[in-house]
Amino acid sequence: MKRLENKVAIVTGGGTGIGAGIVRRFAAEGARVCAVGRRQGPLEEVAASLPKGSVIPCPADVSKESDVERIIATALGLGSGLHILVNCGAVNYRGSVVDVPPGEWRKLIDVNLTGPFLTMHHAIPEMIKSGGGSIINIASVGGIRCIPEGTAYCASKAGLIMLTQQTAIDFGPQKIRCNAVCPGLVHSDMTDVGMRMKASDLKTDVEGAYLHAARNLPLQRAAVPDEIAPLCAYLASDESGFMTGSVLVIDGGISMLDAGMVEK
């Protein structure tokens, strides 16, 4: 039997990057997945690459409560109950506390922090009805250490880590586990935006920009989404049944280094 057989999962940010990698892995492990994202096209592409019926695309904005309620209803239509929630949807806006426009700050916090709050707010009662469940919040090494010009992003991810641990404390007795995963540099559509800007400055291509960004890391490369997904599959499965409130770093070694060593 596959590890996630007969499980129903919601994965936000499921159309691209880490989220798409998680959707693919969960489907391979036997779960039925409600894949959430702002754009229909990428969600349909992910679903089309997997066994028919294993993934249902659900275009939605997690910062809107009415959309979150629709996400939950869609997931509940996939099987008996709700067992897994992965909050992976996120946006980024680089800049210092002076440079970030207040409107962009609010938009980022709405997606990166309020979105996970809303999905957990509505998912947890359904998980309790299902006998328990696993919540996996995709945070970042930016939630545990500063990134230059990462004011809004780092603040949102630090908040997500605390929200994760608070949820683990509050709902452990109801058999709800909640853990955070903190990736480092990962190939994704969101990271590509910054890498294209860096590539222009360095007079190289996007892959060259990734290699430049990773040059001082122990592994000297960025991860690919499919390297993050197996950890999430483990956390979603019964194999991690005694893990909750954990903050798991998967970053190629960047968190071992001081900021000066990373940036030099």
Active site residues: 153
Integer-rounded Cα Rg, in Å, for the chain is 18
The Cα 255–Cα 95 span in angstroms is 21
In terms of phi and psi (left: phi > 0; alpha: psi -120 to 50; beta: otherwise), the region of 59 is beta
